[in-house]
Amino acid sequence: MVFYSVFFLPVVAIVTFDRTEYIVQETSGSLTVCASVISPRVSCPVTIPFSLTLLISDNTALNGSDYVTYRVQTIEFARCRRSACAPRRISFVNDPYNVQVENVEFFTLSLLSDVPLVKPDPSTVVVTIRDDSERACIRLEKTTFTVTEGVNETVRICAEIYDPTPDRSSCPVVFDFEINLSVDGEDFPMAFGPCSHRACVSVPIDDDEQLELTKTYTYRLERTDELDRRIDINTTSGTLTVIDDPTDEAVLKLEQPAYSVHEESRSVTVCVEVCRPVIDTPIDFSFSVLLNTIDGTAVSTPRGDFRADFSALQRRPLYFSVRETRECYNIPITNDDTQEDTETFTVTVNRTSSLDPRIRLEDNVAVVSIIDADIATVEFESTAYSVRENAGQVLVCVAITSRHSYCPVGL
């Protein structure tokens, strides 16, 4: 007779959560956690009653502020039961009176078994709490600023969370975030800390020597690529007015105090320059001055047989375009055949009625000397004279000749 020994291997029951992941909304209200026996797949997988311990552990979500429940609960399985639930529900905290935008938060659930033949797998799952319903709205705290260059080194521009208001929420957004402040094309990051209602940046005001008109710039709030979609930007733009430093000034002068020109040149070029401040673009706007001439020994109108020596200037505008530092004007000179001494006239630079008072005139008078190069020839009209001794006298004539001049010598 042959005897056989038969050994029965213990069967392990696999228990798992009823979901592989719990994703809920803050407004979901509550959650009941259940577990199920998934193996063996028979009508009575476990023939004895057993219990599992449910542990609830904080992570970014905190028990008491984001959810409320007992941290340790017991899930009781009756004999042959395939599923059972925790006795206490997990309640989620919605803050209708403390409105706040939150990050996605989570906590963990763990199953422990004291029965060797009952194994939780997986033993841990995550409960994710989404906050989709709340929003925060941002606007500029102030939409107009007026500052003075040289007086104000910076201007402080702020943005505020105006909805939810501070009385509705002491912590409107629980995480830090950034938006962008653009001022005339230059970007300044504006950082909000957790629970802050306000963020500011200091925009520098450049104090240069350049003479400028009052300028207006636009500043605006802009979204960054990373900004949470639940944060809205409403009042987005404002105006920054910058008044130029009242102590800035510019000085104009004639480039030379004296000019010499030969009559044959037919003109003399007189130039006006910005001599201070000594920078590339001293004046950042257009303006004009007036040129005038004053007769001296050289005259601008004919006198008897004498022609005018130059063309007069009477309040002749000389225009400077934006950032120009030098402008010139050609004064016509008369080229005649009359022999003359060196003659002079005066050029002055004068203000227009609209010239900015911060532009001063210095060394605004110059003397122009006209040098004559004409040659007159003096000769006897005849190379020989004959006269009788009893005539008493002889008439000798001297002729002055020049190049077709009606007045060969103007001396």
Verify that 254 and 238 share a domain, yes or no.
no
- Chosen domain end from 110, 130, 150: 130
Verify that 104 and 142 share a domain, yes or no.
no
Whether 79 is in a domain gets the answer: yes
Q: How does pLDDT run across 239-263, given as a tens digit for each residue?
A: 999 999 988 999 999 999 999 999 9
Verify that 276 and 211 share a domain, yes or no.
no
pLDDT band at 344 (very low <50, low <70, confident <90, very high): very high
Count of domains for the chain: 3
Q: Name which of 159, 157, 160, 151 is nearest 217 in CA terms.
A: 157
Q: Is residue 410 scored above 60 in pLDDT?
A: no
Q: What is the mean pLDDT of residues 89-95?
A: 87
Whether 192 is in a domain gets the answer: yes
**The two structure tokens encoding residue 69:** 């429940």
Verify that 147 and 191 share a domain, yes or no.
yes
Predicted local distance difference test score (pLDDT) of residue 9: 44
- The rounded mean pLDDT for the chain is 88
Q: Is residue 96 scored above 80 in pLDDT?
A: no
Predicted local distance difference test score (pLDDT) of residue 170: 81
Verify that 281 and 366 share a domain, yes or no.
yes
Q: What is the CATH number of the domain that holds 231?
A: 2.60.40.2030
Q: What is the mean pLDDT of residues 397-411?
A: 54
Predicted local distance difference test score (pLDDT) of residue 27: 82
Distances in Å between the alpha carbon of 133 and those of 101, 176, 283, 341? 8, 19, 56, 97
Whether 390 is in a domain gets the answer: no
Verify that 122 and 141 share a domain, yes or no.
no
Whether 100 is in a domain gets the answer: yes
Verify that 285 and 197 share a domain, yes or no.
no
Verify that 147 and 188 share a domain, yes or no.
yes
Q: How does pLDDT run across 123-143, given as a tens digit for each residue?
A: 999 999 887 667 899 999 999
Verify that 230 and 208 share a domain, yes or no.
yes
Number of Cβ within a 10 Å radius of residue 121: 12
Task: Give the bridge partners for 346, in sequence order.
Answer: 294, 367
Task: Give the bridge partners for 409, in sequence order.
Answer: 339
Q: Is residue 275 scored above 70 in pLDDT?
A: yes
Q: Domain range holding 187?
A: 136-243
User: For residue 27, which phi and psi values (nearest 5 degrees)?
Assistant: -90, 5
Q: Is residue 391 scored above 90 in pLDDT?
A: no
Whether 402 is in a domain gets the answer: no
Predicted local distance difference test score (pLDDT) of residue 132: 66
pLDDT band at 406 (very low <50, low <70, confident <90, very high): very low
Predicted local distance difference test score (pLDDT) of residue 166: 73
Distances in Å between the alpha carbon of 66 and those of 90, 94, 116? 10, 8, 35
Q: Name which of 123, 120, 129 is nearest 29 in CA terms.
A: 129
Is the pTM higher than 0.85? The answer reads no
Identify the helix (H) or strand (E) that includes residue 269. Answer: strand 267-276
Verify that 226 and 268 share a domain, yes or no.
no
